[in-house]
Each structure stands twice: as structure tokens, then as C-alpha cells.
Amino acid sequence: MKLSARSRYAARLLLELAVREGDTPVCTADLAKGTGITAPFIEQIIRPLKQAGMVASVRGASGGHMLDRPPSDITLGEIVRTMEGSANIATCLDCDTACERSDDCLTRTAWERASRAMERELDAITLADLLSGDLPGGMD
């Protein structure tokens, strides 16, 4: 599975907000400079993150965006599900009617197991983990 730019950029954007965490909102122009993401794309990405309760926005001259929860409460799994709709590696797992072979497919169970394993890993990694560089269950 290849994550969309929306998921990758959402994680980058949230990490930038976490680095700048404080009582002052960060304006879109500063976020664009810090992340390399264009301001229009940031506005597209922010919407679902706000709806999911990860980001709060303040209007006005000194307005901008800030995390709405601590970095330790936001996981990569939540970000991916918010931006992609699911963390499934095969379309048939999202919709039984996506494939006419869903009922008797010999590989569907394998795709489901792989999807759940990836989801567990993504759910185990928080923004705080990424900021500290101390990922849980690190690979040897």
C-alpha cells in the first residue's frame, strides 16, 4: 500500500504544529514555510484534521492553527484513517461489493491480516514518539 500525499502531509503538518506547540496559533504561511506544503493544500488537509479533533483553528489577524490534543494522544493510525478513510491495503476490505469474488476470495483473509497488522503498528506510534525519536518496538 502506498499512502497518499494527503496522509503523509497531514502527519508532517501535525508534527510541525507539535514542534511549535504553545498557546499561539501558527498561521498557514508559517506552516507552509516549515513543511514545504503549499498554503492551499494545507487548508485542504486541515479541514478533516479539525473535524477529527486533532487541530483547532483561530480566525483573525493573529489567527492560525494549533494542536487540539497533546501529541501523545494523536497516532499515525488515526491520521491515516482520517485522511484515507481506512488503513486497508485492498479495496475489497472497504466494500464487499468492490469485487465480485469477495465471498470466495482465497487472498482476502491475507489482505485483511496485513491491513490489521499495519494498523496496529500505526496506532502504536504517536506524534510524541516521532518527536522524541523513540519509536515503540523499534526494529533491531
Residue 102 is predicted with a pLDDT of 65
| Regions in the chain scoring below 70 on pLDDT | 1, 94-99, 102, 137-140
- For residues 58 and 83, membership in a common domain is answered with no
Instruction: Indicate whether 63 belongs to any domain.
Output: yes
Residue type, 5: A
List, in order, residues 6 or more apart from 79 with CB less than 8 Å away: 7, 10, 11, 14, 49, 54
Instruction: Indicate whether 105 belongs to any domain.
Output: yes
As for how many domains the chain has, the answer is: 2
Please identify, among 67, 91, 119, the residue that sits at the C-terminal boundary of a domain.
Answer: 67
CATH code for position 29? 1.10.10.10
49: phi then psi, degrees, rounded to nearest 5: -70, -35
Residue 1 is predicted with a pLDDT of 63
Instruction: Indicate whether 98 belongs to any domain.
Output: yes
> What's the CA gap between 59 and 78, in Å, rounded?
26
Name which of 56, 60, 48 is nearest 23 in CA terms. 56
List, in order, residues 6 or more apart from 123 with CB less than 8 Å away: 75, 76, 77, 78
> What's the CA gap between 24 and 46, in Å, rounded?
17
Residue 98 is predicted with a pLDDT of 63
Please identify, among 31, 50, 67, the residue that sits at the C-terminal boundary of a domain.
Answer: 67
Which residue range forms the structural domain that includes residue 38?
5-67
pTM (predicted TM-score): 0.84
Residue 124 is predicted with a pLDDT of 95
Please identify, among 67, 93, 113, the residue that sits at the C-terminal boundary of a domain.
Answer: 67
